[in-house]
């Protein structure tokens, strides 16, 4: 069976290697090129193996599509695709196309599935390999497996530690099932379907009046991108690496703060302490320990460097983030 692989980055390269190790015949690869100094890993792997490689962003051009189609793939495998592809790429192969998606479809359709699984507090998510159709993540399911969402997982850890290796293995298994004529087509249950918007600044603003777990889930579900944001000293600040200490009383924010001006109750968003390793922030029912933060116009910094850059003082407070249009 002749396979065309469309993807990019480390995941695309890993799928490429897994398919070749399984003895599959890859006749074409489509990817982004990257730069001469830093080529895309999948692009570089295809070139090194002397397999025809096509820029994904140019597949709509007649001459590129013609050259791609001339490789005569029997199956298109979509490993990590961020472009809208022309229909001949998806439907011309004899077996059509299969695609990786990091959720238990039909839940969390859309490109930010992992973000929303964490943000919504899902204890379990998973990987789906599905047959591509004309909808957004709506095609019949070929293969699906669950994986747990840890209490402290971020989008980064969920992907790289769990869903990346699971997805590579499942795509290789799915190709084998297609080749053997044993691949199912299980219709998705539209009554259970959800679609979430891309994670961006418009839905990543921290509201300190929400319970501690909701605030923490938003931060985890925005790390490493786009970063859940709040306002400190009239500046947008993104909070990334962090942990949470939950308190027995859901209304407790960690007690009182003593400063040169006296003692006062710590409201949500109040800075309780600052050290080289973390900035402690009061939240409803807990204390958020922020360990990596970023102010607009700067880079991500460890807590101590960030505190020095911002001139943080205990007792000052973060304000709610302001939703804005995606950049």
Tokens found for residue 179 = 């080749």
Q: What is the mean pLDDT of residues 300-308?
A: 98
CATH for 2-192, options being 3.30.160.100, 3.30.200.20, 3.40.50.170, 1.10.540.10: 3.40.50.170
Distance CA(297)–CA(256), nearest Å, equals 33
Kindly compute the dihedral angle of the four CA atoms of residues 31, 71, 68, 44, in this order, to the nearest 10 degrees: 20
- Our CA angle for 320, 217, 143, nearest 5°, is 140
Sorted by where each begins, the domain ranges of the chain are 2-192, 201-310
- CB neighbourhood size of 185 (10 A): 11
Answer yes or no: is pLDDT of 69 > 50.
Answer: yes
The answer to whether domain 2-192 and domain 201-310 are alike in fold is: no
Which CATH superfamily includes the segment(s) 201-310?
A: Formyl transferase, C-terminal domain (3.10.25.10)
Provide the β-strand partners of residue 243. 289
My answer on whether omega of the bond before 224 falls inside 30° of 0, hence cis, is: yes
Write down the pLDDT at residue 218: 98
pTM equals 0.94
Mean pLDDT of 146-160: 98
Kindly report, residue by residue over 35-67, the tens digit of the pLDDT. Answer: 989 999 999 999 999 999 999 999 999 999 999
Query: Shortest CA distance to 9 belongs to which of 26, 29, 37, 32?
Result: 32
């Amino acid at each position: 069976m002749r396979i065309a692989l469309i993807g990019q980055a480390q995941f695309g390269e890993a799928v490429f290697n897994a398919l070749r190790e399984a003895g599959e015949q890859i006749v074409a690869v489509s990817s982004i090129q990257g730069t001469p100094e830093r080529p895309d890993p999948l692009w570089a792997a295809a070139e090194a193996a002397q397999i025809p490689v096509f820029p994904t962003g140019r597949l709509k051009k007649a001459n590129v599509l013609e050259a791609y189609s001339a490789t005569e793939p029997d199956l298109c495998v979509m490993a990590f695709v961020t472009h809208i592809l022309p229909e001949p790429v998806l439907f011309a192969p004899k077996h059509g196309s299969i695609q990786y998606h990091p959720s238990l479809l039909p839940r969390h359709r859309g490109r930010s599935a992992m973000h929303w699984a964490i943000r919504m507090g899902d204890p379990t998510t998973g990987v789906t390999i599905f047959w591509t159709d004309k909808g957004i993540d709506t095609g019949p399911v070929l293969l699906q497996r669950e994986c747990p969402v840890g209490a402290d997982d971020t989008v980064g850890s969920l992907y790289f530690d769990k869903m990346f290796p699971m997805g590579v293995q499942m795509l290789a298994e799915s190709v084998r099932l297609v080749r053997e004529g044993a691949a199912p087509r299980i219709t998705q249950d539209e009554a259970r379907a959800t679609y979430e918007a891309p994670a961006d600044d418009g839905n990543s603003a921290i509201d300190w009046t929400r319970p501690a777990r909701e605030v923490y889930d938003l931060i985890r579900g925005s790390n490493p991108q786009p970063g859940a944001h709040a306002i400190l000293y009239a500046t947008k600040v993104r909070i990334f690496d962090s942990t949470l200490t939950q308190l027995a009383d859901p209304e407790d924010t960690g007690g009182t703060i003593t400063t040169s001006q006296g003692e006062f109750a710590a409201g949500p968003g109040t800075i309780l302490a600052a050290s080289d390793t973390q900035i402690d922030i009061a939240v409803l029912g807990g204390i958020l320990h922020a360990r990596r933060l970023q102010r607009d116009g700067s880079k991500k910094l460890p807590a101590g460097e960030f505190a020095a850059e911002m001139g943080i003082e205990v007792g000052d407070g973060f304000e709610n983030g302001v939703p804005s249009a995606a950049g």
